[in-house]
Structure 1
Amino acid sequence: MIEAAFPRQLHPYWPRLQEKTRAWLLEKRLMPADKVAEYADGLCYTDLMAGYYLGAPDNVLQAIGDFSAWFFVWDDRHDRDIVHHRPAAWRRLRFRLHAALDSPEDHPHHEDPLVAGFADSVRRLYAFLPDTWNARFARHFHLVIEAYDQEFRNRVEGIIPTVEEYLELRRLTFAHSIWTDLLEPSAGTELPDSVRNHPAFRRAALLSQDFAAWYNDLCSFPKEIAGAEVHNLGISLITHKGLTLEETVSEVRRRVEDCIADFLVAECEVLEFADSLADGTPRGRELGAAVRACVGNMRNWFSSVYWFHHESGRYRVDSWDDRSTPPYVTNEAAGEL
């Protein structure tokens, strides 16, 4: 379905993005040099962003690409803090990230590379659009940090959320609002509330992100079962709905396919909305073009997520020496700073 309906594209800046993000990971000490050399390109973090934010200015895509790479490293730290029973380290990191989000200019040289790298990427993202967009981004990411804390507690306590609880939490841990917010600097303009809150625009954005979250759950299912995870749509379905493994895979696939079909309907409605905005005035033309750019990149998210999951070393569990320990992570007590 994806290969036929969503042709793959890559931003022409991608080779440079890959090179510069690799250098940024080293400069910010977010991954050891040997891990960067062996795994960074194969993890395809830059491929994911270069396939999504087409049309973005190069410097915007670079800032997004670095932020995305940081996000994956943060996700790995969060996982290792759980696995190695480091609640104090996680709590410290959580509060530091909240502080860095509100004042990134105060944290560029923080002792924890994860905090310093976050501050650097957020500071750069804040430079592209007005303070109102920055405040919205910060508000959304504060919620993401707290959702990660909820996941931390669930995993430590062995709590498998119900399907309904999981769906709500997953939209935060996957950072639906963040990736949608970043469509705006890519399009070169902040969208007014009346545009962002238009039912068709909101629905198309949600479907593109839900597709990514459920497809990620489908592809990471083996990795997360091996790691005794409790946070996966499939695990919630098995535990709370009594589905077999085969039934669970079929159900997650059905949800993924529904996202695709429903998005194609919503996309048409957003394009009609964009036409209605282009009323002949300069502002109308600008908003219509921005909405078209945003929904075009929502469409690109489908192919980018699809290929990322089939090409990234992040999901090649069968090739790992230990199926519960990703080879690209630093497995020592990195969170004890």
Structure 2
Amino acid sequence: MPAFPHSTTSTPTAIAVPPSLSLPVIEAAFPRQLHPYWPRLQEKTRTWLLEKRLMPADKVAEYADGLCYTDLMAGYYLGAPDEVLQAIADYSAWFFVWDDRHDRDIVHRRPGAWRRLRFRLHAALDSPRDHLRHEDPLVAAFADCMVRLYSFLPQSWNTRFAGHFHEVIEAYDREFRNRTKGIIPTVEEYLALRRLTFAHWIWTDLLEPSAGCELPDGVRKNPAFQRAALLSQEFAAWYNDLCSLPKEIAGDEVHNLGISLIKHQGLTLEEAIREMRRLIGKCVDAFLVAEDDALRFADGLDDGTVRGKELSTAVRACVRNMRNWFSAVYWFHHESGRYMVDSWDDRSTPPYVNNEAAGEK
């Protein structure tokens, strides 16, 4: 299956997907696309990471393109205006760096540093312009992302997005406490927490500026739209868990669907992998049904008025991009250096992270 290379060339590279991670239905039924802005996106996000001091220059040079963060977003938000996609891609890159800081704060037992960062992010989310020059590069870069993302749609969208991300920050705090105490959540507890730590509703919210239209509550909360959105995100989170399992076992993680299955349902590693694959397959099948329902809902919104046509077009764009999330996530996990644990010198320490005492200043 051709997949996009880690460069700005157009020559495809064949990616070998391990049998345990292979999903033929994704490769066959979810053709991969990439936003035409991607080569420029990759270049500008790399520059942004440097300018915002989110990664040391040597790590940006060696790892940034191979981590494929921009590929992930360029494969998801098709049709987005270039400036919207750029803001989303920079925010996504920030999110990965934040996730790594969170992990290092846990590994190095830095609860004070994490607590300060948590409160600063809450504050920056509500008043980003006041934090653009914050001493912590992670906070300043986050504020930059928020100023840009808040510029595309009305205040009502901004308020909703902020509310969703406040919940994500608090979910990361729950994960911090679980990991420092060695608490492995039950499967049900984990799945509920995962919807927040994976930021399901953040990535769904960002479908709207990509489509150039804020969706009213009655449209956004329609069961057909909500189900398609949830299933696309559940697939991404669970497939991430499947691909991350070796990395997270090596890093003494406690937050992974496979780890919860092993701990609380008594499964072996091999049985847990089979069960995860079964759940992921069911999720894909359910999405194909939900997608049809959501597209029918979109068609019904076109009532002959200008507003009806606008909403119908926007919902169809959002649902198409929910579909794109499947292939974007799938190929990302096989191209990104983030999951190539076997190539790391230390399986518990990603080579692209700043493993120093960041945050203790």
Equivalent position of 2:21 in the other structure: none
The equivalent of 2:163 in structure 1 is 139
Rounded Cα–Cα distance in structure 2 between residues aligned with 1:245 and 1:89: 34
Per the alignment, residue 190 of structure 1 pairs with 214
Is 2:149 aligned against 1:125?
yes
Q: Deviations over 1:77-104 (max 9, x none)?
A: 0000000000000000000000000000
Using the alignment, how far apart are the partners of 1:257 and 1:185 within structure 2? Answer: 30
Aligned to 2:269: 245
Gaps in structure 2 of 5+ consecutive residues: 1-24
- Counterpart Cα distance in 2 of 1:215 and 1:275: 31
The 3-state SS of whatever aligns with 1:334 is coil
Q: What secondary structure does 1:88 align onto?
A: helix
Q: Matches of 2:325 and 2:298 in 1, distance apart?
A: 19
Aligned amino acid, residue 60 of structure 2: V
Amino acid in structure 2 at the alignment position of 1:268: D
Determine whether 1:115 maps to 2:115. Answer: no
Amino acid in the other structure paired with 1:74:
W
Report the counterpart of residue 230 of structure 1 in structure 2.
254
- Once the two structures are TM-superposed, the CA of residue 210 in structure 1 deviates from its matched residue by 0.2
> Is there any run of 5+ residues in structure 1 with no aligned partner, and where?
none
* 1:191 alignment partner, SS class: coil
Q: Distance in 2 between matches of 1:84 and 1:245?
A: 27
Whole-Å separation in 1 of the counterparts to 2:279 and 2:51: 40
- SS of equivalent to 1:39: helix
- The within-5 A match list for 1:1-337 is 1-337=25-361
1:13-42, Cα deviation, whole Å (9 max, x unpaired): 000000000000000000000000000000
Task: State the TM-score, normalizing by the size of structure 2.
Answer: 0.93
Paired AA for residue 123 in structure 1: V
Q: What CA deviation, in whole Å up to 9, does each residue of 1:289-314 have, x standing for no partner?
A: 00000000000000000000010000
The alignment partner of 1:335 has SS state of coil
CA–CA distance in structure 1, aligned partners of residues 279 and 130 of structure 2: 43
Q: Which amino acid aligns with 1:286?
A: E
Q: Secondary structure at the match of 2:359?
A: helix
Deviations 1:248-281 (A, max 9, x none): 0001111111111000000000111011001110
Q: Show structure 1 runs of 4+ deviating over 6 A.
A: none
Distance in 1 separating the partners of 2:332 and 2:138? 24
Name the structure where helix makes up a greater proportion of residues. Answer: 1
Q: Deviations over 1:110-153 (max 9, x none)?
A: 00000000000011000000000000000000000000000000
How far apart, in 2, do the equivalents of 1:272 and 1:177 lie?
22
Shift of 1:335: 1.7
- For 2:260 and 2:240, the matched residues in 1 are separated by 15
TM-score normalised per structure 1: 1.00
Q: Distance in 1 between matches of 2:231 and 2:322?
A: 9
SS at match of 2:109: coil
Distance in 2, matches of 1:234 and 1:104, equals 37
Structure 2 counterpart of 1:65, which letter? A
CA distance in 2, matches of 1:272, 1:224: 40
SS at match of 1:8: coil
- State the AA in 2 paired with 1:334: A
Q: Specify the SS of the correspondent of 1:279.
A: coil
Distance 2:214 2:279 in 1: 31
The alignment partner of 1:324 has SS state of coil
In the TM superposition, residue 7 of structure 1 has moved relative to its aligned partner by 0.2
